[in-house]
Structure 1
Amino acid sequence: MIEHSRQALVGAFGARYVSLAIADIDELSVSNFALLSTADFEEPMQAVERYLASVPRCPNKVSIALAGTVEGDAATFTHRNWKLTRNDVRAATRADHVCLINDIEASALVLPNLSAYDLQELHAGAAVPYGNKAVLVAGAALGIAGLVRAGKDWVPVVGEGGSLRFVLTKEDLAELGTDFLAERYVACDEVFTGAGLAELYEALVAKAKVKAKSSGARQIAAFGLSGEDPVAMRALQIMATWLGRVAGDIALLYGARGGLYMGGGLVANIIPALQTGHFREAFESRGERSAYIAKVPVRVIKTAADAGLRGAAIAMARSLPSHPAASRPTARATS
């Protein structure tokens, strides 16, 4: 295979899963997709080595998006006791070009390239062309980033949004009890996760003094959406309200007239709950700025969008000399 095909091995390393694929960094299409569990490996490159055994060859470009901190040529993972350097990647893959990028930054980079196929629209709004965008990813933790236009390029702005303090209202405390999340600093990271949904459900069960019908975030989401468990249904309504509050804050912070995007397993698994008035009312309740935020489009990134992998592909394209970043949505993933 000739290298001008501009292919790259791309990876997305999260808290529990590793996604790997071969991507065309111009078309942003991915093939040979694989999903592995992080628990199966003692270090990150073991996952890559296992994957490479299943494909004919490794491209000479490797780009990895990871849940962690990237500084210079090294990365530290947040949810695993792992470290990774560009030299580690080169040693395992013999790649000439290696790119490491934070996963939330990668999610922000891909936003302009997402198509209607990749998204579930919650609110159409009135998008401003080239307006600032923002993304909120809720999975094993909460990640937040902005995307702003600078000349012809989109520039991601990433901080530590997951560490923002989560504050309960008087109405929350009346329903959940004053002991819920009491007497400590509670970060959004702890709330907008599967574990956070389970803790919310358990508080509602305890306050109502009823027997729990659901166990674990997935069952709570499923039983809440189906109506089989009224307490789970209420937990989803509250979570939708809380997501609306935080998403509205983020949209205002970044001036996200180009759109507020939400992704991650927690969000993707409760989309019907977000389509109710609970999310939208909390999102738009901004006093004199309510009219402003009502124009912000709100979209959910579907899990099948391969956002992390495509973001890693864009990061690779941008890292190469004299190469404009890919800028259009294209073909879907194939296997």
Structure 2
Amino acid sequence: MPTSVTNEHPAGFPGGPRLLADVGGTNARFALELAPGNIGYVHVLPCAAYATLAAALRAYLGLPDVAAVAPVVRHGAIAIANPVAGDVVRMTNHHWQFSIAQLREECGFEVLAVVNDFTALARALPYLDLGEEKRQVGGRGAEPGTPLAVIGPGTGLGVSALIPTAAGWTALQSEGGHASFSPINETEVEILRFARREFGHVSAERLISGSGIELVYRALADLHGVPAEPLSAADVTLRALRGNCLLCDETIESFCGMLGTVAGNLAVTLGARGGVYIGGGIVPKLGERFDRSLFRARFEGKGRFNAYLSAIPTYVITAGYPAFAGVSAILAERLGDR
């Protein structure tokens, strides 16, 4: 079902508005689902401003516009950038940790679903409209009835997929971003060597993420024998887009190329002929620079499987809050109404 983001008040759920959340390492995004597919009252809270997830959740529910429309919220679902196995969740890229059962009781929920953020994003993929919520970058048409894959660099590197079954779609609970990084040219070998000075294990996430952009920038500066400025990922990206820093542009080109390789690996591993989707907070901001980068050439560059991969479409997710549709579907299934 397509999802609209609005503050209108249609006929709602029997149990009242539902809380939806998408929690990353940097920001926690909250919303209310007022009726099926009708999502509004979106607020983005910085994780660093709150000691716990419960504190951030209570702060959202206490906002005047939210409290006015939903003084009591009985049902909620949270997508979080972390593995979810059992009751205790400890975030990889932030200090929050919590018991799901205790969080449910503390915040007064009858039902609270907590899932990995890219599991939720995978569930949202069939609902994304071409042109409005996703942009195609290369490939041909998606093949119906085949897996869809999603990968997204942001604070970390999320990975998941949607697998078709006789009963519908099944989303994988993957932590593929922590698979070991594999260089494919001499420059990437040197980047890997540089990263190994700091990290015992260099995963794909170490290089294909926000902090990864900063690490690649420092590695390339070291390789070229030039001083590295203390630049953030946002600084590197802005300078690259402005075209006034060759080293920053090389960094972004390397980032896009490495992402293309990992996305191509994901496509051949899963047989994702339904398409590979690029989410996260970094790539959408690159705009046309991403479209003309090495990404697609590296995605297809698998030797004898070049023709196989050249047919698979890749999409940049441009929707503002795509995970909400997925976490809504997961909560609806938990409540037995979808």
Q: TM-score, normalised by structure 2?
A: 0.87
Residue 140 in structure 1 maps to residue 150 in structure 2: no
Query: Which sections of structure 2, spanning at least 5 residues, go unmatched?
Result: 1-10
Distance 2:299 2:228 in 1: 30
In the alignment, which residue of structure 2 is the partner of 1:216?
A: 232
> Which one-letter code corresponds to 1:46 in the other structure?
A
Q: Does 1:23 align with 2:36?
A: no
C-alpha displacement of 1:212: 4.7
Stretches of structure 1 lacking an aligned partner (at least 5 in a row): 325-335
Question: What is the CA–CA distance in structure 1 between the aligned matches of 2:184 and 2:100, rounded to whole Å?
Answer: 46
Correspondent of 1:127 among 127, 142, 150: 142
The alignment-based identity, stated in percent, is 25
Find the counterpart in structure 2 of residue 332 from structure 1: none
TM-score by length of 1: 0.88
Does the 8 Å contact 1:107/1:311 carry over to 2? yes
CA displacement at 1:285 relative to structure 2? 0.9
Q: Secondary structure at the match of 2:248?
A: helix
Supply the distance in 2 between the matched residues of 1:26 and 1:124 (Cα, whole angstroms). Answer: 33
Higher RCO (C-alpha 8 Å, min separation 6): 1
Give the equivalent residue in structure 1 for 2:21.
Answer: 11
Secondary structure of 2:194's aligned partner: coil
SS at match of 1:68: coil
Whole-Å separation in 2 of the counterparts to 1:202 and 1:182: 13
* Letter matched to residue 242 of structure 1: M
Q: For residues 65 and 173 of structure 1, what CA distance do their matches in structure 2 show?
A: 33
State the 1:276 CA deviation: 1.4
Provide the secondary structure at the position in 2 that maps to 1:136.
Answer: strand
Worse-superposed segment, 66-75 or 29-38:
66-75
Sort the Cα spacing of 1:24 and 1:154 in 2 relative to 1 into closer, same or farther, 3 A: farther
Whether 1:249 aligns to 2:259 is: no
1:36 paired to 2:45: yes
The number of aligned residues is 320
Given the alignment of the two structures, is residue 225 of structure 1 paired with residue 225 of structure 2, yes or no? Answer: no
Moved more, 182-191 or 207-216: 207-216
Following superposition, the deviation at residue 213 of structure 1 comes to 6.5
Q: Does 1:197 align with 2:221?
A: no
CA distance in 2, matches of 1:36, 1:108: 23
Contact persistence 1:224–1:236 (CA under 8 A): yes
Residues 89-139 of structure 1: CA deviation (Å, up to 9, x unaligned): 433443322211111111111111111211122124221113210000211
Match of 1:319 in 2: 334
73 and 22 in structure 1: CA distance in 2 versus 1, 3 angstrom threshold? same
| CA distance in structure 2 between the partners assigned to 1:86 and 1:24 by the alignment | 23
> 1:140: how far off?
1.4
Pick from 273, 279, 284: which aligns with 2:295?
A: 279
SS at match of 1:228: coil
Matched residue SS, 2:143 = coil
Pair 1:51 & 2:65 matched: no
The SS at the match of 1:63 is strand
**Is the Cα contact below 8 Å between 2:16 and 2:74 reproduced in 1?**
no
